[in-house]
Amino acid sequence: MDKEKPQKVIKHQGGFFQDTMTYIKLIGRLMADKRISPVLKLLPISSLIYFISPIDLMIGPLDDAAIVGLALYFFIEFCPKEVVDEHLKALENVTSNIPQGFQSSNPSEKPIQEEDIIEAEFHDKEKPIE
């Protein structure tokens, strides 16, 4: 009776913000995927509507954030595993080609190579070199 532990959807690659951005990108990709049921896509949409609506059924903003977080978590969990894995693999390929510290808005750009870096000193033309 050896039960397998459920694997986490996203492996922790960086800090909190990098993991959060990966979740947001994954949810965006899943929302655009035609293989995901439109009924299932109502889960993140309705949670965001609840979050920004002026009607507050519970007290405080933390419970609203918890509801959105749970809704997004269940959205990913209810999506077909092979579709989620496909999108995660695509996201990992995009981020693995970018050197640490460099971010590109165009994922089709080739990554910066060491031979592409030019080291030089900066001198202001207005001031004489000492």
Q: What is the pTM of this model?
A: 0.60
User: Which pLDDT score is estimated for 1?
Assistant: 46
User: Which pLDDT score is estimated for 14?
Assistant: 63
Tell whether the torsion through CA atoms of 29, 106, 101 and 111 is positive or negative. Answer: positive
User: Which pLDDT score is estimated for 113?
Assistant: 75
| CA dist., res. 14 & res. 23, Å (int) | 12
C-alpha distances in Å from residue 109, one per residue of 97, 114, 122: 9, 15, 27
User: Which pLDDT score is estimated for 35?
Assistant: 93
User: Which pLDDT score is estimated for 130?
Assistant: 66
Would you write out the chain's pLDDT as a tens digit for each of its 130 residues?
Answer: 445 545 555 555 567 888 888 889 999 999 999 999 999 999 999 988 888 877 766 677 777 888 888 999 999 999 999 999 999 988 887 755 555 555 545 555 666 777 777 787 777 778 776 6
| CA dist., res. 14 & res. 113, Å (int) | 22
Of 78, 97, 76, which Cα lies nearest the Cα of 25? 76
User: Which pLDDT score is estimated for 45?
Assistant: 93
User: Which pLDDT score is estimated for 33?
Assistant: 93
φ/ψ of 101, rounded to 5, equals 95, -15
